Structure 1
Amino acid sequence: MINMHYTACSLLKITFKSLLTFFAREEREDTMPNTEPKLYKLQKKDLVACILRVFAKLVLFSFHRITMEGLEHLPKEGPALLLPKHCTYGRDVALEAIALHRATGRYANFLMRAIASRFYEWAGGIKIARPKDVRRVPGARALNRASFEYIRWLYLQGEVLVAHPEGTRNPYDMGALKMGVIKHLMDVENEAGRCIPLVPIGIRYRGYWVPFSRIEVKIGEPVYADDFENIKHLLSYLREQISQLSGWVI
């Protein structure tokens, strides 16, 4: 059974790559991509996002017992920043997309590593360079500036953004939250004169490779930056909420 589950997860990865070839007709390169900003034009294509969501749902729900709580907290309209726990590659993003669409019928935009291909942009991915890459990879700073300008435009268009605030996978612990994407949201709020909800999301895997093991997705109540004295208090609260929703004690 474990081999069957491993094979299914491998099939999910292979299918993603096959769809990449079909839609993008380009190879993925481990180099810093073009930093030209793509402002005022939505990169995400709902058809591509729908295909991935349907296939991921078929695979995940066939080999895991998945429960989702707090779906009513996901915004049905307007901009929002969803902040989920980051445990694994692939499965986390799929679960987040499935939960949002189930509750609201919406497709989100996801922050992804800068080496992500054009296909992942069509699925809602936004290329972002990691902090360590900003210091050593040419073009990384320019890429991030362009990406955050695009994110600002997305908020103003009423789009949903998903960002893993830990910045990296922490499957067996709760990492510290990175400030960048949250500070950027606060800057957009100040410039645009509007409030954007932040939604903490917990994800807990009872077994990563055990067939029919349980995955629990718990969505917390939205909060607003204006409700906190400063960003330090906001980050502390969000980390505590994400940790509790994921079953961790900090």
Structure 2
Amino acid sequence: MSSLWHSITVAPALGVVLGLAPVMLVRQRSEKGKQSGHAPDRPPFVVRVIRVISQCVLQIGCWFITTAGTRITVEGLENLPEKGPLLIAARHYHHLYDGCILLRCIPRRMHIFVALDWIRTRWQRSLMEWACTTLVWPTVLRTERLFLTTDGQEGERIFRIDEVKKYLRNAVKDAMLLLRQGEGLVIFPEAYPNVDPDPNPKDCGAAFLPFRAGFVRLVALAERDKQTRVAIVPTGFCYTPGKRRWQVTLRLGTPLYRQDYEDATALASVIEERVQELSH
């Protein structure tokens, strides 16, 4: 699977950094229990508490971010399955607001497939890896962008080329597990947004980039257990500049299923067409 998706640069760190105090409190109590001889909290429980706290703080942060910078209209919310594996294949217009709007407006817990190759310093890498691990957000590196980021010292790289496969392998495993557990996953198959602090292929004026079909292959891998059936929801964004805030329309299409299409290429093509239609 060669598709590598762009990251939300603030949201994952926000969920963990703002939730750091309560998270550390939970961990500290667990450690005290171990040292005092009392039975410590079961690891699954501690992990669940940490994730719930981070998710709640993340939702609040996304609400503040989107309220300050956007006015949002949501269409097609009734198309979302209330439960079960869900993959949202969305247009990528804004590097920050897209993810924050989805996290705010989707009435389910969502995980975002992100790329970390925009990182320029080692402390950013440590923070983002920790944040994404806590939130259970699969992370990858886009090979074509890997060597464009440095930590300020000429020739020194934040990521090594031999790390690409490891990141991709772990991301696929994490994403498959999320879908098999009935969770929601957001993917931006274009890989790059229109509004981005860093140069990207859309700088040439392209409104849309061709979808990378890796997200469909990911669904196929998750469904190999013969029990998982992933609903793929094409999702469009329409941004209109306002005096102070973006006017944003989020449109959710009807779910599509891999079994209804001949192959991954055909399904990816249909989803790409629908996402473009929903974005106008």
Q: Does residue 231 of structure 2 align to residue 197 of structure 1?
A: yes
Match of 2:183 among 144, 159, 169: 159
What whole-Å deviation, never above 9, does each CA across 1:112-168 have from its counterpart, x for those lacking one?
113533123323422112243689712210221122112111111111111111111
Task: Please tell me the residue identity of whatever aligns with 2:109.
Answer: Y
Select between 220-229 and 127-136 the one with higher mean Cα deviation. Answer: 127-136
| Structure whose alpha-carbon radius of gyration is higher | 2
**Paired residues for 1:56-75 under 5 Å:** 56-75=62-81
Offset from partner CA, 1:72-120 (integer Å, 9 cap, x none)? 112211111111111122211101111212xxxx211111113533123
Matches within 5 A, 1:1-250: 20=17, 23=20, 45-101=51-107, 106-114=108-116, 115=125, 116-132=128-144, 137-170=161-194, 173-207=207-241, 210-247=243-280
Give me the identity figure in percent.
Answer: 21
Is the CA contact (8 Å cut-off) linking 2:62 and 2:103 kept in structure 1? no
Q: Are residues 140 and 194 of structure 1, via their aligned partners in 2, closer, same or farther at CA, if it must alter by over 3 Å?
A: same
Please give the alpha-carbon distance, in whole angstroms, between the structure 1 residues aligned to 2:270 and 2:12: 38
Which runs of no fewer than 5 residues in structure 1 stay unpaired? Answer: 1-11, 26-40
> What is the TM-score when the length of structure 2 is the normalising length?
0.68
Question: Are the aligned partners of 2:15 and 2:55 in contact in 1 as well (CA < 8 Å)?
Answer: no
| Inter-partner Cα distance in structure 1 for 2:223 and 2:14 | 37
- Give structure 2 stretches of 5+ with no counterpart: 1-8, 24-46, 117-124, 148-159, 196-205
Kept after mapping to 2: 8 A contact 1:44/1:124? no
Secondary structure of 1:161 counterpart? strand
Point out the more displaced range, 122-131 or 177-186: 122-131
Q: 1: distance between equivalents of 2:261 and 2:163?
A: 35
Is contact 2:234-2:254 (8 Å) kept? yes
Q: CA deviation at 1:42?
A: 7.4
Which one is further off, 76-85 or 191-200?
191-200
Answer whether contact 2:143 2:161 (CA < 8 A) is retained: no
Q: Contact (CA 8 Å) 1:44, 1:125: kept in 2 or not?
A: no
Give the CA RMSD over aligned residues.
3.1
Deviation at 1:237, TM superposition (A): 0.6
